Structure 1
Amino acid sequence: MTRSHLRTGIRNGIVVAILGMVFLNDVSELAADPRNQSNWQLDVLRLRNGATLSGMIEVETPTHVRFQLVQRKAGRPTVSFHTTISTEEIVGIDRLTPQQRKQLKAQLDGIAQAGQQEQIRSENLLIEPIDWQGKPGAGLRYVSDFFVLNSDAPEALVRRTAVRLEQIYAAYTRFLQPRFRTRRPTTIWLFRNREGYAKEMQGIGRPILNPACFDPRNNRVLCFSDLDRMAEDLERIRKHHLDLWTELDRQQKEITRLYPNPKERERFIGPIEETRRKIISQNQKNDEIVDRATTKLFAVLYHESFHAYVENYVFPEGVPNGLGPLPTWLNEGLAQIFETGILELGEFRVGHAERGRLLRIKELVRKNELVPIKDLLRATPKSFAVLHADEAAASDRYYLTSWGLAFYLTFEKRLLGAAALEAFIASEGKTDRIVAFEKLLQQPIDRIEADFQRYLRNLQENGSTVDLETMRDPVKPPK
């Protein structure tokens, strides 16, 4: 092969490699926002283009800074990756003290170790084969103190789900202490596809509108995963990218053989390295897509398992001194709070306002379409049951308002787990609901409503509030 042939072949090969990269769906680029770092102390780089990067300085030289970018936004797992930035791009650095940087490194190492520990825990779980829909050994079972997980999903997903469920139930016990430990564990059925789930839902006469549900009569949670097809696509894409990578390695070896001079070789090696970076980036984006899909699965499992936990261990219905049942609006509101919780470093993080819900509820407040607290307190389970498409909007209003009111009681009034809230729950059916709620908050209902709506208008994603009504424009300096 001549050098001219090689130039043409490599150029064509690189084009094929770039066009041959495959991805599942587009993902928004990561962007570091120093205002959303959840109280972590970070190094800050200020760049000439106006961007500000937050994270940890790893290595500094006269020409470059090796930097670990850290993104820690409310309601999302911590994201970090390494990058190298030319000092010519940097106009200023706000550095941590050595002690602060040591603490930050320990925090980041802890997250990495936590991910490894989850993998180790999932691999060490005792999973046993079970019969599934008449097929011997076609399913898997994991037995816990609070639940029994049965599934025909791939073993890796079953193991990961079992670990997450153990973590979320531990979080439930921390926020709402179990009052009845003799109750029987909930059976959680995780179907690998919609078809198996639909068949089971039809058997109990319930509509197939949500990917999961809690069946209190039989003390079970039904759920399905739609990750099988995505996992197959991802494996196909990874194999394709691996083939491209192998071809790039072959091309680089051929270039090295024909161009022993590093400077002459660099103009061919550069595009190959750029293609490798694109493959790595696209694989990372694909992983993020799968992670998002997995997060949705765990969110519905967290939601329905919360209902099961409350019914079995905290506020059971029809049990002497059980105080239950939990009012539907409060049950649904708390379940929505817990479904968006983040499990990280052995800690369950709640208290952030999930962006989608927050934007929608603010819009309801602005349009004066929020469900009045009086109506929410008197709502029946039917108000939360979406049976037809035309009922979805009304149900959404009830769900959103219940989330907002539960959020208000939990994080603004700090009533979750308090004796006053238990007394309010125990008053169900004995005292007028509005009177009981006024007693809980020690205010008339109209004043509670006004304060609640003001709270929602001022609520931020990180769970804090900014009093928008008393804010003033900064005083401009005189000319």
Structure 2
Amino acid sequence: MSLLALPLPAQPQDPLRDQESDRLTLTDGTQLQGMLLEESPRNLEFLEVVRPPGKPMFAVIHTISANQKKSLDKVSGEDRKQLEKLVDRLRNHTQIRAAAKDSLTLKRTKSAILETDQAWQYQGDRFVLISPLNEDMTRTFAVRVDQIFQAFEHWLPPKQKPNSPIQIVLFYSIDSYSAYLKKIGLTIDNPAVYVPHTNQVLIGSDLGAFQARLELAHARHEAILAQWSEREKKLPEDLNQLAKRLKDAGWQPDTIVTEVQTRREAWQRDFKKAQAQIQVTDRRNQTTLDSLINQATQHLCHESFHAYVENYLYPQGEYEVPIWLNEGLAQLFEHAQFENGTFRIDLPPKEILASLKERLERDNGMSLQRILQTKAGSFILFENLHEGRLDYDVAWGLAWYLVFQKQLFAPGSLDRYVHKRNLPAPTVEETFGESVSRVQAEWVAFIRQLPS
């Protein structure tokens, strides 16, 4: 049997050719298709729908300054209902794009916590960021915190409004962070914490101390390169003087040329070696800095999620949130990916997934039953903060399963796993709508098929 191979039709350029959508045109000529989420005098949030040729469709949320908008055409009626359904289907596969760092407004402020009158402050819509780091680093974190809270709001829209914004405090060093925890009577080993009664997220890292060392190293490198530059300017004259001395000593002209050239090449090799050493050191320092930034960002994501749950979703005075749920979702956001300026949650972290699959080979999901029977309660209470008996990989895996298999982020879905304190706690069967053994079997099968 022979088959006639026909060329496939070209992929359409318009990702929404079968769906009417909002169209946003920017002053620089950029055109976005998707749905307007929110618009204010200051900026607007626009969800762009993207369908790469041969790949799954996804969405990107852009935060755009109002003065960048040239025109906006919105659909209505039945077209809008269909568009909303499409956007809802893409909810879990949405990327949050960062705003421009330079567009953020920082101001100097006095901070009693940081014991300085030279801290930076950034006022977000749902938080206040206080930082002792330099301006550029503070802007980096301000952009990321904005993305993180925008992600929270997109996947889990707020149910209530707190009396005051969440305060996020970055510390200069682990030592200064630890000293402050001791001052307020907290004895924990975590590098970050959410303190409910003060509504503060405290982030410890050595970013400030490392930055200070980086500045010293940079100054030394600049001084070394400046010395080489000065020597380079004098090199022609030094070599001319060498040639004269060799001539006076009776050297032959050809020999003098060879010697001068040898000296010039040796000097150039030494110069390049010095430059290479500095470049290697700079790259190593940048790698360390990036690692510290990523660690601090992960801790910030984790603790900010607990703060968001407390402030905007389920305050612990009224609700009980199961430990596995609070901690599992916090990890889902903690291990989200910052990729090409976007924040996304739909890529499973390799290390946790590998650890969980190894566990499943050992116990075939029995750890899931254990974690589901862990006493419900807010995980942000100090007496059980990050307690060791919780299986973190299992908590992450259960949250991942509920989000991407059971549509946990669909409107109203999360409520079934949380209960009010004045009501009896539901059983696992009542919560999940099926037996624990059935939940276990479906969960194990789902986790095992995830690509490593």
Same fold (TM over 0.5): yes
- After TM superposition, give the deviation of residue 451 of structure 1 in Å: 2.7
| 2:194 aligned residue | 214
How many Å apart are 1:356 and its aligned residue?
Answer: 2.9
SS of residue paired to 1:353: coil
Report the alpha carbon displacement of residue 335 of structure 1 after superposing the two structures with TM. 0.7
User: Structure 1 residues 139, 263: CA separation in 2 closer, same or farther (over 3 Å shift)?
Assistant: closer
Change (3 A) 1:138 1:374: same
- Please state how far the C-alpha of 1:327 moved relative to its aligned partner: 2.1
Assess, with a 3 A threshold, how the Cα gap between structure 1 residues 215 and 417 changes in structure 2: closer, same or farther: farther
Moved more, 137-146 or 262-271: 262-271
Residues 1:313 and 2:308 are matched in the alignment: no
Would the aligned equivalents of 2:192 and 2:299 in 1 still touch at CA under 8 Å?
A: yes
Contact 2:322 2:417 in 1 (8 A): no
SS of residue matched to 2:418: helix
Contact 1:130/1:139 (CA < 8 Å) preserved in 2?
yes
Equivalent residues of 2:336, 2:343 under 8 A apart: yes
Q: Sort the Cα spacing of 1:427 and 1:134 in 2 relative to 1 into closer, same or farther, 3 A.
A: closer
| Aligned equivalent of 1:409 | 402
The whole-number CA distance in structure 1 between the counterparts of 2:417 and 2:188 is 34
Give the CA deviation at 1:194.
3.3
Q: 1:297 maps to what in 2?
A: 296
| Aligned equivalent of 1:31 | none
Q: Hey, what does 2:445 align to over in structure 1?
A: 454
The answer for the alignment partner of 1:177 in structure 2 is 157
Q: Which amino acid aligns with 1:446?
A: S
- In structure 2, stretches of 5+ residues that fail to align are 1-51, 54-95, 241-256
Q: Which residue of 2 aligns with 1:147?
A: 127
Q: Is the 8 A contact 1:383 1:398 kept in 2?
A: no
- C-alpha distance in 2, partners of 1:338/1:433? 27
Counterpart residue type for residue 218 of structure 2: R
Superposition deviation, residue 188 in structure 1: 2.2
1:167 CA displacement: 2.0
| Corresponding residue number in structure 2 for 1:327 | 322
- 1:452 maps to a residue whose letter is W
**What do residues 165-210 of structure 1 show as CA deviations (whole Å, max 9, x unaligned)?**
1221111111111121354311223332334433442354432210
Offset of 1:396 from its aligned partner?
A: 6.2
Structure 1 residues without counterparts, runs of 5 or longer: 1-98, 101-113, 462-479
Letter aligned with residue 401 of structure 2: Y
User: What residue is the counterpart of 2:254 in the other structure?
Assistant: none
* Deviations 1:315-362, CA, capped at 9 Å, x for gaps: 33445xxxx443221111111111122345553211222233223223
| Aligned residue-pair number | 339
Partner of 1:76: none
- Higher Cα Rg: structure 1 or 2? 2
Q: Which residue of 1 aligns with 2:426?
A: 432
With over 3 angstroms needed to count, the CA separation of the structure-2 counterparts of 1:365 and 1:116, relative to structure 1, is closer
| Identity score, percent | 28
SS in 2 for 1:169: helix
Displacement of 1:438 in angstroms is 3.2
Q: Would you say 1:398 and 2:391 are equivalent positions?
A: yes
- Tell me the TM-score normalized by structure 2: 0.63
Q: Answer yes or no: is the 8 Å Cα contact 2:98–2:144 preserved in 1.
A: no
User: Which amino acid letter does the alignment assign opposite residue 415 of structure 1?
Assistant: L
Match of 1:166 among 140, 146, 158: 146
CA-based RMSD: 4.0
| Per-residue Cα deviation, 1:286-320 (whole angstroms, up to 9, x for no partner) | 1121011011112111111111112111233445x
Q: Which amino acid aligns with 1:302?
A: C
Q: Relative contact order (C-alpha < 8 Å, sep 6+): which is higher?
A: 1
Cα distance in 1 for residues equivalent to 2:360 and 2:366: 9
**What is the distance in 2 between the residues matched to 1:307 and 1:363?**
28
